[in-house]
Chains A and B, each alone.
Chain A
Amino acid sequence: MADTAIAAPAQRVRRRKYGSMSRDRTWALRWSYFFLTLFVIFFLLPPVYMLITSLKTSAEISTAANPWWVFNPTLENYRELVTSPQYLGYFRNSVLVSVIVVAVTMLISVPAAFALSRMKFWGSATLATGVFLTYLVPDTLLFIPLFKMFATFADWTGIQLINRWYVLLIVYPTLTVPFCTWIMIGYFASIPKELDEAALIDGAGWLQTLTKVFIPVALPGLIAATIFAFTVSWAQFLYPLAFTTSTEQLVLPVGIITSLIKGDVFNWGQIMTGALLGAAPPLIIYAFLMDYYIAGLTAGATKG
């Protein structure tokens, strides 16, 4: 009798506790959805607006009609851009620059990260921090000295790099290499030391340890770094604006602005279309490699 009398309230207390925990959780979820919805609206409005505008004619854009609705949808803007040799030239330059910069970045930063994280040499820790610090210098500070350097280089050697699309192959890695090296250092550091010791005993040299063990194991990090390098070199605006001027040397972000804005005439429909098409390649790459990208960004944090 006494036992049941004690047991009953205890049970009730436990149930109430459980109920309150689940209620907390429900509220937490509601709030997260509320804020997530806010963010989604905030971040998706511009691209949606771009899409809507790109489907309109110039005449419709300039009328005072509802800007969120297309009354006479047309693909004219798309047709014009895709058949324009100028726009295709920008696209080609962008692809060339981005692909080569990604390759160069990976070729430099992966071995550099391996050396900095694994071969403990004098000053390696300082150097690793130094690599990251160089990334923190804003590019707005750097383009004038860089410009000066290329000018001096041209004076000395007679090789003119300014106003050539390939000057970007030298400039972009100053942004991508430090950050990618930093990502890869973090990723390599999370690989247990025993793994390279096992490879060492198995008879692998440094290069074989890197190519046969580290790169495959750190593939998510490698992909994250690749995406980063691609995004940076695809979307970079300031450097191409400063270093390239001739139409046939321009890359997409600058090309769209310079050729589609004529004086004070803004060809909004084509600008929006050009930007939308320009945003497509990184978007497609993100979509395919999203899982790897997230795994790569969180890897250093948890070590699992």
Chain B
Amino acid sequence: MAEVRLRKVVKRFDDVEAVRGIDLDIADHEFVVLVGPSGCGKSTTLRMVAGLEDISDGEVLIGGDVVNDVPPKDRDIAMVFQNYALYPHMTVFQNMSFGLRLKHYPKAEIKKRVDEAARILDIAELLDRKPKQLSGGQRQRVAMGRAIVRNPKVFLFDEPLSNLDAKLRVAMRTEIKKVHQQVRTTTIYVTHDQVEAMTLADRVVVMNNGRIEQIGTPNQLYHTPETRFVAGFIGSPAMNFIPCQLEERAGALSIRLTDSLAFPVPEAKASRYRGRAANGSMLLGLRPEHITEAHGHLEPGAVPFEARLEVTEPMGMETLVYFGVNGAQVCGRVNPNSGAREGAALRLAANLNNMHLIDEATGRVI
């Protein structure tokens, strides 16, 4: 096992720069998830670590050694692909042992390792089957088994759950986490699904446009996003962004959304925003769960306001309500018993203790 370091890594395809100088330190045993929209360079980054793509510029280090010119087979890594990439003509046992057989491991050792991996993944009874006789979830397990038996320095996962149906995806997510807790191998996991990223990762790397937007634990990314992109990408339903002005009158800060609607900035946040009033156009970032129905007693920082609902989506345990403010569609989450109806007005409360203010020009969270 080993740590992985990326130093100013660049990948160019002809004229297009897919990865634009990435710096990333991944500690031993760590589970790091690269997440971002398609085309953000996350898969390319992973493939450069694997050695499947040449590195145009910069360095990749595995276990302290620069591996730029080391072929994939000598990097001591294992990779799980989105479409499983099992050898269709081999049984599960042969699939899992292929790498070991190529390296001429003794038969007894191969059997021991495969049995151990099959036990961890609960596929011991499938060892004699061919891939086409397996379900999607089972194939994914075999693909993971093929990685585990090699006992590599690093596991690389390239969107391994994208081909599974929603229910199985959740189950396999838990499975992957369990496996990592048992084998503790350094893992880099690529996905476009922010829920997968949040649930699996020790640290999440959010990528956009070939660059890293932010690196942090799932909670850090959720509660203290640094850019508008991260704020909008992490969390579902996504954070609301409402165009606003920051006003400072007689030492009191307030967020003006429309002529008739303005929220006072809570005391805890005020120091952060003081002196920024002249900044010009800004965005108020507020997660749907911080817009709820107004109770009789409001906690400090929560501001009541009236909204005419355009759409309601009952989810069972809660109801999502949508309404327009200053040209932006805003989503809130209310109690299903709050009486929210489409077309009707509802008294809501915005909890500004959890607000974010974003400079529209730079896209950075203030």
Chain A residues at the B interface, C-beta cutoff of 8 Å: 192, 194-195, 197-205, 208, 212-213, 216-217, 219
Cβ A217 vs Cβ B79 within 8 A: no
Instruction: Please provide the 4 A-B residue pairs with the shortest distance between their CB atoms, ordered closest to farther.
Output: A194-B85, A202-B99, A203-B73, A198-B85
Report B305 CB to chain A, min CB distance, Å: 47
Given A200-B52, A200-B73, verify A195-B99 contact (CB < 8 Å).
no
Cβ A217 vs Cβ B73 within 8 A: no
Please report the C-alpha to C-alpha distance between residue A202 and residue B73 in the assembled complex, in whole angstroms.
Answer: 6
Cβ B52 vs Cβ A192 within 8 A: no
Checking A198, A204, A219 against B81 with a beta-carbon cut-off of 8 angstroms, the contacting residue is A198
Chain A residues within an 8 Å CB radius of B73:
200-205
Chain B residues within an 8 Å CB radius of A201:
50-52, 72-73, 77-79, 99
Report A9 CB to chain B, min CB distance, Å: 36
Please report the C-alpha to C-alpha distance between residue A197 and residue B75 in the assembled complex, in whole angstroms.
Answer: 14
B171 at the interface (CB under 8 A from A): no
Report B264 CB to chain A, min CB distance, Å: 56
Q: Which residue of chain B has the shortest Cβ distance to A191 in the bound complex?
A: B88
Report A179 CB to chain B, min CB distance, Å: 25
B100-151, CB < 8 A from A: 102-103, 146, 150
Report A20 CB to chain B, min CB distance, Å: 37
Given A203-B73, A217-B88, verify A198-B102 contact (CB < 8 Å).
no
B273 at the interface (CB under 8 A from A): no
Cβ A217 vs Cβ B87 within 8 A: yes
Please report the C-alpha to C-alpha distance between residue A198 and residue B73 in the assembled complex, in whole angstroms.
Answer: 10
B89 at the interface (CB under 8 A from A): yes
Cβ B85 vs Cβ A197 within 8 A: yes
Cβ A213 vs Cβ B87 within 8 A: yes
Chain A residues within an 8 Å CB radius of B229:
none
Q: Which of A197, A199, A201, A208 is most buried by chain B, counting CB atoms within 10 A of its CB?
A: A201
Chain A residues within an 8 Å CB radius of B150:
202
Given A200-B72, A202-B98, A208-B102, verify A194-B83 contact (CB < 8 Å).
yes
Q: Give the bracket for the number of chain B residues in contact with chain A.
A: 20 to 34
Checking B81, B86, B88, B102 against A197 with a beta-carbon cut-off of 8 angstroms, the contacting residue is B81
Please report the C-alpha to C-alpha distance between residue A217 and residue B88 in the assembled complex, in whole angstroms.
Answer: 7
Can you show 5 pairs from A to B with CB atoms below 8 A apart? A198-B87, A199-B98, A201-B72, A202-B99, A204-B73
Other than the given A200-B52, A203-B73, 19 more pairs (CB < 8 A) read A192-B83, A192-B85, A194-B81, A195-B85, A195-B87, A197-B85, A198-B81, A198-B146, A200-B71, A200-B72, A200-B73, A201-B50, A201-B79, A201-B99, A202-B73, A202-B146, A203-B103, A204-B102, A213-B87
Chain A residues within an 8 Å CB radius of B87:
195, 198-199, 213, 216-217
Please report the C-alpha to C-alpha distance between residue A107 and residue B224 in the assembled complex, in whole angstroms.
Answer: 62
Please report the C-alpha to C-alpha distance between residue A199 and residue B99 in the assembled complex, in whole angstroms.
Answer: 8
Chain B residues within an 8 Å CB radius of A216:
87, 89
Q: Which residue of chain B has the shortest Cβ distance to A213 in the bound complex?
A: B87
Report A195 CB to chain B, min CB distance, Å: 5
Chain A residues within an 8 Å CB radius of B71:
200
Please report the C-alpha to C-alpha distance between residue A201 and residue B78 in the assembled complex, in whole angstroms.
Answer: 7
B45-92, CB < 8 A from A: 50-52, 71-73, 77-79, 81-83, 85-89
Q: Which residue of chain A has the shortest Cβ distance to B71 in the bound complex?
A: A200
Chain B residues within an 8 Å CB radius of A212:
98
Please report the C-alpha to C-alpha distance between residue A143 and residue B150 in the assembled complex, in whole angstroms.
Answer: 56
Please report the C-alpha to C-alpha distance between residue A198 and residue B89 in the assembled complex, in whole angstroms.
Answer: 14
Chain B residues within an 8 Å CB radius of A205:
73
Chain B residues within an 8 Å CB radius of A194:
81-83, 85
Chain B residues within an 8 Å CB radius of A208:
102
Chain A residues within an 8 Å CB radius of B98:
199, 202, 204, 212
Please report the C-alpha to C-alpha distance between residue A199 and residue B98 in the assembled complex, in whole angstroms.
Answer: 8
Cβ B99 vs Cβ A197 within 8 A: no
Please report the C-alpha to C-alpha distance between residue A6 and residue B40 in the assembled complex, in whole angstroms.
Answer: 55
Chain A residues within an 8 Å CB radius of B102:
202-204, 208
Please report the C-alpha to C-alpha distance between residue A209 and residue B81 in the assembled complex, in whole angstroms.
Answer: 17
Chain B residues within an 8 Å CB radius of A198:
79, 81, 85-87, 146
Please report the C-alpha to C-alpha distance between residue A178 and residue B206 in the assembled complex, in whole angstroms.
Answer: 49
Report A196 CB to chain B, min CB distance, Å: 9
B164-203, CB < 8 A from A: none
Please report the C-alpha to C-alpha distance between residue A295 and residue B20 in the assembled complex, in whole angstroms.
Answer: 45
Q: Which of B71, B73, B82, B103 is most buried by chain A, counting CB atoms within 10 A of its CB?
A: B73
Please report the C-alpha to C-alpha distance between residue A213 and residue B86 in the assembled complex, in whole angstroms.
Answer: 10
Please report the C-alpha to C-alpha distance between residue A213 and residue B82 in the assembled complex, in whole angstroms.
Answer: 19
Q: Which residue of chain A has the shortest Cβ distance to B143 in the bound complex?
A: A198
Chain A residues within an 8 Å CB radius of B77:
201
Report B109 CB to chain A, min CB distance, Å: 15
Please report the C-alpha to C-alpha distance between residue A197 and residue B88 in the assembled complex, in whole angstroms.
Answer: 14
Report B75 CB to chain A, min CB distance, Å: 8
Q: Which of A192, A198, A213, A216 is most buried by chain B, counting CB atoms within 10 A of its CB?
A: A198
Report B193 CB to chain A, min CB distance, Å: 20
Chain A residues within an 8 Å CB radius of B88:
217
Please report the C-alpha to C-alpha distance between residue A159 and residue B72 in the assembled complex, in whole angstroms.
Answer: 49
Chain B residues within an 8 Å CB radius of A192:
83, 85
Chain A residues within an 8 Å CB radius of B82:
194
Report B285 CB to chain A, min CB distance, Å: 39
Please report the C-alpha to C-alpha distance between residue A208 and residue B98 in the assembled complex, in whole angstroms.
Answer: 11
Chain B residues within an 8 Å CB radius of A202:
73, 98-99, 102, 146, 150
Report A244 CB to chain B, min CB distance, Å: 42
Q: Which of B78, B81, B86 is most buried by chain A, counting CB atoms within 10 A of its CB?
A: B81
Please report the C-alpha to C-alpha distance between residue A217 and residue B132 in the assembled complex, in whole angstroms.
Answer: 13
Chain A residues within an 8 Å CB radius of B52:
197, 200-201
Please report the C-alpha to C-alpha distance between residue A88 and residue B53 in the assembled complex, in whole angstroms.
Answer: 58
Q: Which residue of chain B has the shortest Cβ distance to A205 in the bound complex?
A: B73
Please report the C-alpha to C-alpha distance between residue A216 and residue B86 in the assembled complex, in whole angstroms.
Answer: 13
Q: Which residue of chain B has the shortest Cβ distance to A196 in the bound complex?
A: B85
Q: Which residue of chain B has the shortest Cβ distance to A194 in the bound complex?
A: B85
Q: Which of A200, A208, A217 is most buried by chain B, counting CB atoms within 10 A of its CB?
A: A200
Report B74 CB to chain A, min CB distance, Å: 8
Please report the C-alpha to C-alpha distance between residue A22 and residue B146 in the assembled complex, in whole angstroms.
Answer: 49
